[in-house]
Structure 1
Amino acid sequence: MSRHRMCWRLGVTIDLSNGGAGVTDGDPTALRGPIAIPGEGTARKLASQVASRIEADILASGWQVGTVFGSESALRERYGVSRAVLREAIRLVEHHEVATMRRGPSGGLIVKAPQAGPLAAAMVIYLEHTGAQVEELLAVRLLLEPLAARLAADRMDEEGIQALRATLEQDQASPDDLGGSDLLHKTLGQLSRNPALRLFIDVLVELTNRYVYRPSRASRGQAAEVKRASHLAHRAIANSVIAGDTSRAEQRTVHHLEAMRDWMLSIGQRPIASTQRADVDDTGNGKQKLAETVARRIMGEMAARGAHVGDVVGSEADLLERMGVSRAVLREAVRLLEYHSVAYMRRGPGGGLVITVPDATASIQATALYLDYEEIGLADLRAVRDVIESGCLESVVRRHEDTEVAERLREAIKPVDPVASEATVGRAHHFHTEIAELSGNPVLALFLRIITTVWARHSDDLVEEGPKTQEAADAALRVHEGIAEAILAGDLPLARHRMRRHLEALDAWWQ
């Protein structure tokens, strides 16, 4: 696949060589920088910048749930912004459920325990907007879910056994409802006790649902047959997990996912962006807040119209009439679209909501914060990274004769100015994100950027060590040359061996 990926139905050509508009040269440590929003220069909107600073400061202060992080006046002084900017920033912080503003004499910004739900929704928005395909989703599920089954089997306890058996009972209770098939997959993600794995599987299941559950694509009899086969597979997987049989749990998960893939591809599913969700409650009382619901409805209209980047999908007045909501709700929905770089509101004559190039930077930052809060360990981070990197290598090796692959890999391993160790470390990360982009799978690319961003956050202190950091980063760049050499030779086993040894070395350096 070319480095320019066509976004389905949005007619946008996205240059993935640097992760899309507003993303830096691939250095995950630079993901804290601005998002380019058309019409606003190269900087992210000030409110988004302030929101990110607030979230980072809450993390740095120990994430003390229930405490007052600061009053509105104190926060305005601390961040040097107007009341309007601060309040918009706080709405974004509240969207990620990092904190909430309590009004009144004893009020202020109250620190909350972050939840995975809003982060999963943000990633879903981004991947829908990029036009991720069902084949890409299933490829990543085949990487991550067998790992979840193996970890769940290894970490199983009495409480986990009860959860699995309750899931099977619920699955069997609706023999004609394909939606129940999600439960086992999400439960295995939870029982893996790996926060990154759990979050990624939730995103993958949610996205897959946009393809599967449309009655027009399969008769009732076919749906019942598929559900029965799925339930039998789920029971076999669960029994292996409960028994602690890691190998069989992993193997049965692979076979089940392969069968799911074959069925889904056989019924000719349409891309995600065209699918309308059936579980969205437009009154705001369902699974999503009203502003999030409105944001998704706007995205659905964009896709249905075949809109292109730069197109105006409607003025504020037009959108108010079409959505049937208050101005406050619409503006909050627009803020979410801007934050996730889906669209932005251009003011003045000829203005309106303008479609922009999708950028996952905001979601990546927030997800890295969440994983920090969950105190994800090196072993869990590495387990997920191993399978993602391996999947990326397999895809890129298949393209090893493509001149674009050779050009971009050679560019990624070029030596850099050794004056600043941060530059060298950033270049080392860039090699990994470049391989992910070359895989042509936006899901793999997004997940790897999240993982490397978390790693980069934890390595900040090491970067300050100077010569030691420079020596380690230079060694990493030499290893990258060997990995690139194996890729270009079409030697997947050697590429995987060198990548595995390289990641082991990185782990030792981090520890």
Structure 2
Amino acid sequence: MNPEVIAPRVDSRRAKLAGRAAEQIVADVIELGWPVGQVLGSESELLNRYGVSRAVLREAIRLVEHQRVARMRRGTGGGLVIDEPDVDAVIGPAVIYLLRVGATLDEIFDTRILLEELVAEIASQRVSEADIATIRDTLERESAGTISNFRLLHTQLAELTANPILELFVETFTRVANFHFNDAAALPEDFDREVGRAHDGIARAILTNNPGLARERMQRHLRAEADFIRRQPATVQHLDPAVGLAGTLGDKRGEALARQIFTEIVQTGAQPGTFIGSEATLMSTHQASRAVVREAIRILEYHQIALTRRGPGGGLFVTEPDISALVDIMAIYLRRRGVTTRHIGDLRTGLELAVVERAATRLRDGTHDVAAVEQALRAESEQGMELAFGHGEDFHSVLARLTDNRALQLVHGVTMRLGWQFFTQFAADDPRVAAISESLAATVGPAHQGIAEALLAGDAELAVMRMRAHMTATAPESL
């Protein structure tokens, strides 16, 4: 690939119109109750309904197909058919994103420990008598050596929270961590016994409704696991890009070629806009048929690794890793799973306290300039909270970026996006919510200013205390 060849300019107006049309399609699907298999309409019907050009509609359809909201079916009885998002279709793009932005093993475990501590706490508060037998059965199978999946208990505990956000991210980060270490031959002889002992202690704390002890034991267990993986000679902080597209649905030859191109992009450090090649060049370079090359391109486009540009100077070009696109995919999947404001509330305070604590550390050690915090306050003051959030310039989003933890930033971004979606919906449905939120907005600016002042003074404890008070004042039940 030639790093000197840069992609032709994108039609930004068409992209924005397509984005809005895609958002309306998603809203319509949710409003209909997500009836999988139902046809939303033919292309001509959709053109009339959404009032956009054919080019804009087709770009919007590409977006909703990527999000697994709907897919275009050709032929008799065809049209835009409502699809069923599944967890693999969400986790795959998440793994690709974390790999492309260089998320490290330490970032993954830092975020995983934070989330699974929350899981242990919430599970201990919500576990019922009906759950006891399931947990005990898993522990007994571990003890007897008849179970090979030592993540099963963690998955079951996440399910006990009945929180789709926690379930999704526990599964996501578990899979990513497993990519870093899957060498069963390197496990010590007493590994099974040690894991079983740790799981037994966590389970007993949960079954006796002891959230503090459950959190402490979960943290100790996962820190021990992280330390063990780091000590292995083959352990690396950054994933091998070859694992990124493993298990992608499609023709195996096309998948293999997509993986090869993706590996080259990562290993050469190809920047967004770098030209990969035309269809004919890729066929010649890789000695592949047109069908295989097109399947590889389809996979690369689906995961937003590369994008085809038509016309003179066109071809396949590297795209920018886009957290907003991934956040949209995850938020849509979670809406389908029935996420509520209560689920967001389960995570909101813990996430924000973790973010401000880590941001304080980065500011204190000089990793980031304090100007970013000051700029966020100005953006909120000049643009308003909603516009600042839409541009990724709001106070909370900026603090998340200052953590330098791409995994944590992803979880934070998804919960923030869901929160804004619910707020917009509630405000549209009930004028009283909008009125209350306007009065509440008057206190948000000063709260952010107070947290910022503590951060800029290097007082992490005061910043955390003020963030906790801010979270309490702006909890959903206060609206």
TM-score when normalising by structure 1: 0.78
1:373-393, CA deviations, whole angstroms, 9 ceiling, x for partnerless residues?
333232321221222212111
Aligned residues: percent identity? 33
Does the 8 Å CA contact 2:96/2:244 hold for their aligned counterparts? no
Q: Which stretches in structure 1 are left out of the alignment for 5+ residues?
A: 1-10, 12-36
Match of 1:26 in 2: none
The structure with higher relative contact order (CA 8 Å, sep 6+) is 1
Q: Determine the C-alpha separation between the residues in 2 that align with 1:383 and 1:457.
A: 17
- Shift in alpha-carbon separation, 1:49–1:123, aligned structure 2, 3 A: farther
SS in 2 for 1:272: coil
Matched, 1:40 2:10: yes
CA shift at 1:210, angstroms? 1.9
- Shift in alpha-carbon separation, 1:240–1:275, aligned structure 2, 3 A: farther
Match of 1:260 in 2: 225
CA shift at 1:77, angstroms? 2.6
Q: Residue 207 of structure 1 aligns to which amino acid in structure 2?
A: V
The equivalent position to 1:247 in structure 2, one of 212, 226, 251, is: 212
CA shift at 1:41, angstroms? 4.5
Q: Determine the C-alpha separation between the residues in 1 that align with 2:249 and 2:39.
A: 31
Does the 8 Å CA contact 2:36/2:83 hold for their aligned counterparts? yes
SS in 1 for 2:9: coil
- Shift in alpha-carbon separation, 1:262–1:317, aligned structure 2, 3 A: same
Q: Which stretches in structure 2 are left out of the alignment for 5+ residues?
A: none
Match of 1:270 in 2: 236
The equivalent position to 1:76 in structure 2, one of 38, 47, 53, is: 47
SS in 1 for 2:394: helix
The equivalent position to 1:434 in structure 2, one of 381, 387, 398, is: 398
CA shift at 1:206, angstroms? 1.6
SS in 1 for 2:317: strand
The equivalent position to 2:420 in structure 1, one of 456, 460, 484, is: 456
Q: Determine the C-alpha separation between the residues in 2 that align with 1:80 and 1:405.
A: 45
Matched, 1:396 2:365: no
The equivalent position to 1:155 in structure 2, one of 106, 109, 126, is: 126
Match of 2:296 in 1: 330
CA shift at 1:257, angstroms? 0.7
Q: Determine the C-alpha separation between the residues in 2 that align with 1:145 and 1:334.
A: 32
CA shift at 1:275, angstroms? 4.8
Matched, 1:98 2:69: yes
TM-score when normalising by structure 2: 0.83
Does the 8 Å CA contact 2:106/2:237 hold for their aligned counterparts? no
CA shift at 1:302, angstroms? 1.9
Matched, 1:117 2:88: yes
Q: Determine the C-alpha separation between the residues in 1 that align with 2:338 and 2:409.
A: 23
Matched, 1:495 2:458: no
Q: Determine the C-alpha separation between the residues in 2 that align with 1:294 and 1:45.
A: 31
Match of 1:202 in 2: 171
Match of 1:32 in 2: none
Matched, 1:370 2:327: no
Q: Determine the C-alpha separation between the residues in 2 that align with 1:376 and 1:419.
A: 29
CA shift at 1:63, angstroms? 2.8
- Shift in alpha-carbon separation, 1:171–1:78, aligned structure 2, 3 A: farther
User: How do 1:181-200 and structure 2 match up within 5 A?
Assistant: 181-200=150-169
Q: Residue 114 of structure 1 aligns to which amino acid in structure 2?
A: P
Does the 8 Å CA contact 1:55/1:93 hold for their aligned counterparts? yes
- Shift in alpha-carbon separation, 1:52–1:128, aligned structure 2, 3 A: farther
Q: Determine the C-alpha separation between the residues in 2 that align with 1:444 and 1:323.
A: 40
SS in 2 for 1:276: helix
Q: Determine the C-alpha separation between the residues in 1 that align with 2:41 and 2:107.
A: 44
Does the 8 Å CA contact 1:241/1:249 hold for their aligned counterparts? yes
1:57-103, CA deviations, whole angstroms, 9 ceiling, x for partnerless residues?
21234434453322333123323456676556445434433234455
1:3-59, CA deviations, whole angstroms, 9 ceiling, x for partnerless residues?
xxxxxxxx9xxxxxxxxxxxxxxxxxxxxxxxxx97315453876654443223212
Does the 8 Å CA contact 2:68/2:85 hold for their aligned counterparts? yes
- Shift in alpha-carbon separation, 1:419–1:117, aligned structure 2, 3 A: closer
SS in 1 for 2:10: coil
1:459-484, CA deviations, whole angstroms, 9 ceiling, x for partnerless residues?
22566767754442231010001111
Q: Determine the C-alpha separation between the residues in 1 that align with 2:393 and 2:248.
A: 42
What is the aligned length?
464
Q: Determine the C-alpha separation between the residues in 2 that align with 1:225 and 1:277.
A: 29
Does the 8 Å CA contact 2:258/2:299 hold for their aligned counterparts? yes
Q: Determine the C-alpha separation between the residues in 2 that align with 1:424 and 1:96.
A: 25
Q: Residue 388 of structure 1 aligns to which amino acid in structure 2?
A: L
Q: Determine the C-alpha separation between the residues in 2 that align with 1:417 and 1:393.
A: 20
Q: Determine the C-alpha separation between the residues in 2 that align with 1:80 and 1:415.
A: 33
Q: Residue 481 of structure 1 aligns to which amino acid in structure 2?
A: Q
Does the 8 Å CA contact 1:395/1:439 hold for their aligned counterparts? yes
CA shift at 1:323, angstroms? 6.6
Q: CA RMSD in A?
A: 3.7
Does the 8 Å CA contact 2:65/2:71 hold for their aligned counterparts? yes
